[in-house]
Structure 1
Amino acid sequence: MSRYYDYVLGLIPAALLGVTAFLNLVGLSLTAAVPVGASVALALMGHAMFVRAPLDDAARTSDAAGTGSRSASAPFAGSGSD
């Protein structure tokens, strides 16, 4: 999984500069191309943070075993009656 984050770290500036340069070469003004390139870089960061979020070793092993962090009898932590 660390390779994925290495690629993402390399793709962030590449997307920002590459998309901006490509759109500028195609004919879009620089002031319009920079926000588009930045939104592509932001989408990469959002994907890395929320879609393929980094997990610690305990969560990775429990998810691989099919036992999530929540049990079926208590779906929400701390929702018991006191």
Structure 2
Amino acid sequence: MTGYYDYVLGLIPAALIGITAFLNLVGLSLTMALPVGAGVALVLMGHAMFVRGPLSDADSPPGESGSAPGHPPASNPSSGAAASGGPATSGGSD
């Protein structure tokens, strides 16, 4: 089954070669058409890496298919020394 990244891997050389060839055929010089084709290929790579970047199972939000069944999501401590950033004290004076 083909996924998003399979299409991106196919579109990178297609954009570089195809857009460059098309622009060259319509009259743009090769020295101007090649950077345009490379720019489109660069935009495709940037989109695949940063806009719709791959996530590992550890990065996926809880409740998605990557989480193990029967294990609750990790909770953040909301009180005590960990929340304030200081050491836990008993409240007495020294």
Return the offset for 1:57. Answer: 1.6
Gaps of 5+ in 1: 74-79
Higher RCO (C-alpha under 8 Å, 6+ residues apart): 1
Q: CA deviation at 1:59?
A: 2.4
Q: Which one has the bigger helix percentage?
A: 1
In the superposition, the TM-score normalised over structure 2's length comes to: 0.64
TM-score (norm 1): 0.73
Alignment map for 1:1-82 (pairs within 5 Å): 3-62=3-62, 64=64, 81-82=85-86
What's the Cα RMSD here? 2.8
How many residue pairs match? The answer is 72
- Could you say which structure has the larger radius of gyration? 2
2:69 is matched with which residue? none
